[in-house]
Amino acid sequence: VCMSGVADKRNPVLDCCGGLNNVDYSKVDMSVMEDVLKHIDVYDPRFCVAVIAIIFNPFFWNVVARWEHRTRGLTRLFGGPYLACYCLGTLIILLNVYRSHSMTVAMKAQARWEVMASPEVFYTGAALMALGSVLVVTSFLALGFTGTFLGDYFGILMEEKVKGFPFNVTENPMYWGSTANYLGLAFMNASPVGLVLTVVVAISYQVAIIFEGPFTEDIYRQRAQCCKHK
C-alpha cells in the first residue's frame, strides 16, 4: 500500500473475506460477552462512584493545570510555582488513592467470574501489577515530582526531554503502568467489573493524552521561541 493510502496496482491488497461489510455478525458467538455482563450490575452505586472517580481525575487536573498556565492563579495563591505544584500534586495523589479505593470496593461488591478464577489468571495479574509498578516508579524517578505532576504548566520546565527507561518503551509509562496495575488487580480478583473499570481507565487516559500532549509541546515550543529572541 502506498503512503498516500492509494493501493499499488502492482501489489494489490488482499481483502480477506471481502471486507468487514461481508461478515455475518449473526453468527458471532456472543455467549462470552453475555456471561461477563451477567456478573456486572451497572446500576450499583459503588460501580457508578468508581466510574465517576476514574473520569473526574484526569478531567480535574487538566482543567486546573490549564487554568494555572493561563492565569498563574495557584502560583499567586501559594506564593510560588513550586509550592503550588506540590500542593496540586498532593491533591492528585489523594484523588488517585480514592479512585483506587472506589474501584476495589466495586470489585469486592460484585460477583467473581469463575472463568477467571484460576492460578494462571491470578499469576498473570500479579505479573501485570509488577510490570505496572515498575513503569510507574521508574517514570516518577525519571521525571521527579514536578515533572510528574504538571510542573510544565507552572513554568517549571525540564531542560530536555527524558528519553531513557521507561520512556524508551512507552511514551506515557505513568498512565499505562497505572492501567496495567488495575488490569492486574481485576485478574487477581477474578473480577469482570474490574475489567470494565480498567477499560474506562484506559479510555480516560487516552483522552487525557490527546489533550495533554499537544498542549505540553506548545509550552516547550514557546520557551524555545523565547530563547531564540534573547
Take residue 130 and report the three cell numbers written for it.
Answer: 509488577
Kindly state the cell numbers that stand for 176. Answer: 499505562
Residue identified by cell 456486572 is 40
182 with 201: CB under 8 angstroms?
yes
223 grid coordinates: 520557551
pLDDT tens readout for residues 122-171? 999 999 999 999 999 999 999 999 999 999 999 998 887 788 899 899 98
Residues that constitute the known binding site: 130-132, 212-213
pLDDT tens-digit series, residues 167-193: 899 989 999 999 999 999 999 999 999
List, for residues 87-132, the tens digit of each pLDDT value.
999 999 999 999 999 999 999 999 888 888 899 999 999 999 999 9
The position carrying cell 493545570 is 65
Residue 89 is predicted with a pLDDT of: 97
Residue type, 22: N
The torsion region of residue 212 among left (phi > 0), alpha (psi -120 to 50) and beta comes to: alpha
* Residues placed in the known binding site for S-adenosyl-L-methionine: 130-132, 212-213
**8-state DSSP, 154:** G
Q: pLDDT by residue (tens digit) across 16-35?
A: 444 445 555 455 555 656 66
Does position 48 have pLDDT exceeding 80, yes or no?
yes
CA distance 130 to 8: 45
Q: What's the confidence (pLDDT) of residue 221? A: 78
Q: Cβ of 132: how many Cβ atoms within 10 Å? A: 22
> In sequence order, which residues have a C-beta less than 8 Å from that of residue 116 and are 6 or more positions away?
187, 190, 191, 192
Q: What's the pLDDT score for residue 214? A: 79
Q: 29 is written with which cell numbers? A: 458467538
